[in-house]
Amino acid sequence: MSAQMNQQFSTFSHQFAAAAARANRLALENAETIFGLQLKAFEKNLDATTAYFAELAEVRDVEAYKTVFPKGMQIAKDNAERVAAASQEVMGLTLKTNEALGQLAKSQFEAVSETAQVNVAKATKAAKGR
């Protein structure tokens, strides 16, 4: 009886470790993707802003400022839109990852439940046989 319990405990421990490793992998892949998206948006925003400041530094008269100022507003708007789009994509990826983690947990619960039902059936059959 003790050997059987040890075997079941070992099996459940192995399943738990495998599920934890899969969950970790999913979480790390999600974090890596999110970091990449945010870094790409930051890089584009920095490039656009730097180009604008370079153009602004070359302006020498008031008339030129009048033409450069609307460009600055457009760049600020584009930067905000890029940040918003990246945030939406991050939310979508996070939702997909959470769904995958939920499915992983569900499959683990189902596997444990199935094993428990089999063991209960065996124990019930053995008790009736006595």
What are the sequence ranges of the domains in the chain? 26-122
Q: What percent of the chain has pLDDT over 90?
A: 53
pLDDT at residue 108 is higher than 60: yes
Q: For the chain, give the mean pLDDT.
A: 88
pLDDT at residue 123 is higher than 60: yes
What string of H, E and C letters represents the secondary structure of the chain?
A: CHHHHHHHHHHHHHHHHHHHHHHHHHHHHHHHHHHHHHHHHHHHHHHHHHHHHHHHHCCCCHHHHHHHHHHHHHHHHHHHHHHHHHHHHHHHHHHHHHHHHHHHHHHHHHHHHHHHHHHHHHHHHHHHHC
- Give pLDDT tens digits for 86-106: 999 999 999 999 999 999 888
Q: Is the pTM of this model over 0.75?
A: no
